[in-house]
């Protein structure tokens, strides 16, 4: 199933590039692509990652359900699977047992390229199921999360069909449905996939290491912009349960700003943050 998830959006993306040079892209389709990108990216970053995996805040049931569905629409696996893999990554970051470290594929440029491929997509092609009851017992006990995980494939389909339905209704045409599915469905999937997968690959190879975390996690500005703040990856590995990843004033963290906004309206509470002493006191290894 992983091969279908990886290859299908890529092939459709190539077709969309060909389509673009012959037909261009309408403002509606661009808006559907960007809108679905934002929703599903937040499903992964705010939902799968900061809420479900690290429990960095608590929220009302409606927000929890929305984030679980939006994360499923990103087609990166059921929430229980995704969180189990990520918790295992933190337990064994860049060590034996890390599901997607780029640092155990040999030396030289060949080893770097092989490691980058493995950490970006290769690890998914032969990855076995994790011991869920050991890694995510809290999520298995949560009836809502368990149900969201069980309905994963429906969320994937919904994420592809929804922009098509919106495009078709707006234009009152099947052509609008088709281009909505193309840009808001499959092209958006391709962009979300490779932006978030870059956290596993790029952010363990290129960037600044402001904290000595014992692994190769790095802060990468480009990845941070593409993923709304997840690219401050070294910060995250230094303080895994923190709801805020951009710890400096200039490190834009859109996800954390959204958490603050939701907290104002009482939709989010118990937001976990590291204290200033810990943030300032941990040594910077390199800048």
Segment 163-180, tens digit of pLDDT: 999 999 999 999 999 999
At 131, is the pLDDT very low, low, confident or very high (cuts 50, 70, 90)? confident
Query: Which residues are CB-contacts of 261 (< 8 A; sequence separation ≥ 6)?
Result: none
Q: What is the mean pLDDT of the chain?
A: 93
Answer whether residue 286 shows pLDDT above 60: no
At 182, is the pLDDT very low, low, confident or very high (cuts 50, 70, 90)? very high
Q: What are phi and psi of 147, to 5 degrees?
A: -70, -40
Query: How far, in Å, CA of 68 to CA of 42, rounded?
Result: 10
Mean pLDDT of 250-279: 93
Answer whether residue 195 shows pLDDT above 80: yes
Note every long-range contact of 201-207, with CB atoms under 8 Å and residues 24 or more positions apart, other chains counting.
201/100, 201/102, 201/116, 201/119, 201/120, 202/116, 203/231, 203/233, 203/234, 204/94, 204/101, 204/102, 204/103, 204/119, 204/233, 205/102, 205/112, 205/115, 205/116, 207/231, 207/233, 207/234
Report the range of poorest mean pLDDT among 56-60, 93-97, 171-175, 246-250. Answer: 93-97
Mean pLDDT of 56-83: 97
So what's the pLDDT on residue 127?
79
Mean pLDDT of 228-232: 98
Query: How far, in Å, CA of 136 to CA of 79, rounded?
Result: 10
Answer whether residue 277 shows pLDDT above 70: no
Say how many C-beta atoms besides its own lie within 10 A of residue 7's C-beta.
11
Report the range of poorest mean pLDDT among 89-93, 96-100, 198-202, 236-240. Answer: 96-100
């Amino acid at each position: 199933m992983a091969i279908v998830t990886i290859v299908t959006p890529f092939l459709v993306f190539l077709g969309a590039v060909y389509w673009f040079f012959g037909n261009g892209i309408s403002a509606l389709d661009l808006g559907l692509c960007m809108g679905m990108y934002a929703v599903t990216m937040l499903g992964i970053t705010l939902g799968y990652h900061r809420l479900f995996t690290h429990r960095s805040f608590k929220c009302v049931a409606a927000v929890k359900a929305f984030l679980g569905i939006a994360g499923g629409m990103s087609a990166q696996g059921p929430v229980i699977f995704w969180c189990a893999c990520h918790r295992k990554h933190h337990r064994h970051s860049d060590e034996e047992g890390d599901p997607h470290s780029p640092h155990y594929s040999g030396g030289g440029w060949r080893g770097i390229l092989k490691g980058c491929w493995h950490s970006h997509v290769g690890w998914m092609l032969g990855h076995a199921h994790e011991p869920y009851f050991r890694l995510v017992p809290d999520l298995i006990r949560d009836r809502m999360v368990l149900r969201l995980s069980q309905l994963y494939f429906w969320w994937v389909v919904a994420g592809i069909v929804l922009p098509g339905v919106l495009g078709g209704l707006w234009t009152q045409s099947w052509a609008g449905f088709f281009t909505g599915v193309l840009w808001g469905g499959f092209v958006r999937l391709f962009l979300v996939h490779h932006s978030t997968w870059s956290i596993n690959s790029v952010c363990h190879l290129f960037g600044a290491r402001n904290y000595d975390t014992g692994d190769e996690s790095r802060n990468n500005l480009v990845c941070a912009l593409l993923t709304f703040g997840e690219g401050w990856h070294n910060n995250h590995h230094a303080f895994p349960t923190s709801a805020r990843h951009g710890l400096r004033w200039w490190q834009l963290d859109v996800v954390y700003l959204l958490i603050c906004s939701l907290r104002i309206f009482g939709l989010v509470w118990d937001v976990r943050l590291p204290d200033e002493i810990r943030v300032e006191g941990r040594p910077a290894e390199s800048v």
